[in-house]
Amino acid sequence: DYYFITVYVPNSRDGLVRLDYRMEWEDAFLAYIRSLDEKKPVIYCGDLNVAHKEIDLKNPKTNRRNPGFTDEERDKFSAVLGSGYSWWSYRFSARAKNVGWRIDYFVVSDKLRENLRDAKIHTEVLGSDHCPVELDIEL
């Protein structure tokens, strides 16, 4: 009844050496998702390597133009933002202080919008620098 996709979006890397590649990838992936959505609704999730809004990271002013927080990456994601995971760096006790970056998301086709019930971030689950999220959707 729907497509479910997991994805790891390419990182732009230090110095933004892969930003151009990332922009091409974003366009191609969006075209792919749209083509699938013509057949049946799409849910995709994963590490999208972008902090969409300033609230999605601890220090937005000092992270401008860093990989994952460029205007280009954020603009590409604006059209498809759903709800997501949260991510905290292992460095400097960031997870304990809740000062990480939210870069993992669930993105759900508008066709399923009315089926969304809830999303929860499970900060208590350890084992990775990514925190799992639970997406409640009635299918």
Percent helix, strand, coil in the chain, to 5, is 35, 25, 40
CA 5 to chain centre: 13
Pairwise CA distance, residues 50 & 47, whole Å: 8
8 among known catalytic residues: yes
Look-up: residue for tokens 């609230």? 55
Q: From CA 84, how far away is CA 131, in angstroms rounded?
A: 10
Catalytic residue among 47, 56, 85, 105: 47
Q: Which of 1, 2, 8, 85 is catalytic?
A: 8
Half-sphere exposure of 104 (CA within 13 A, CB side): 21
* CA distances for 116 relative to 31, 62, 139, angstroms: 24, 35, 9
Amino acid present at 51: A
Question: Among all residues, which ones are annotated catalytic?
Answer: 8, 47
